[in-house]
Amino acid sequence: MDLLSQLKKEAKRFFKNDRGAHNWDHVKRVYNLCLQIGKKEEADLEILKISALLHDIAREKEYNSKGKICHAIESAKLAEKILKKYNFPEEKIKKIVHCIETHRCRNNKIPKTKEAEVFFDADKLDSVGAIGIARTFQFAGEVGARLHNDKNTDLFKTEPYTIEDTGYREFMLKLRKIKDKMLTKEGKRIAEKRHKFMEEFFERLNKEVDGAC
């Protein structure tokens, strides 16, 4: 069994109790986006492939802590241990750890390599567009959120992992900002298309909530 297949097997065991929004399907989509963007940006595809497989292996820890644990930091630590077990080159391990620990917007760690920039974009792009909308509603269902917030609700005063943690809240507080965070030319191109679709969807959703035909 080659290393990539072994790492895929290692990674999959962390998703036995996965929740739909951040499951193995998400990993596969990020993997494919890494290849698409990485080829355009002439990045190291080996680093990107392994980063994609291991980037969310601590996601369950974050979920169980209701967001108090940063899955990016924890996943990077676990990835380093796994790769050392296979005697993977130290220099490449550092690059992969950097990709994983900088792929999240909220931990103040900045991507500083081409591969980390590509990986950041690939992971974020799976949060926008049609797939992004589907994931936000799936996650809202996982935490017991309502379908849509009352129009008088101040979304900026609501809390995550509560009844108000809706797909619309996610769009207003986070997803609509993602296109401006892209770091690569290809990432920006894809993000613009996906952002436009989200705007149209949530505009329509708001109208239908108010009774539009």
Residue 150: CATH number of its domain: 1.20.58.1910
- DSSP character at residue 111: P
DSSP annotation string for 24-68? HHHHHHHHHHHHHHHHHHT--HHHHHHHHHHTTTTHHHHHHTTTS
Q: What is the pLDDT of residues 87-107, one digit of tens each?
A: 999 999 999 999 999 998 666
Domain that holds residue 50: 1-108
Residue 103: CATH number of its domain: 1.10.3210.10
Q: What is the pLDDT of residues 136-173, one digit of tens each?
A: 999 999 889 999 999 899 999 999 989 999 999 999 99
The residue written with tokens 């591969």 in the block is 115
The CA angle 57-61-66, to the nearest 5 degrees, is 135
Supply the pTM of this predicted model: 0.88
Determine the average pLDDT of the residues in 38-66: 89
The CA distance from 24 to 15, in Å, is 7
CA 48 to chain CA centroid, nearest Å: 14
Residue type, 62: E
Is residue 86 domain-shared with residue 137, that is, in the same domain? no
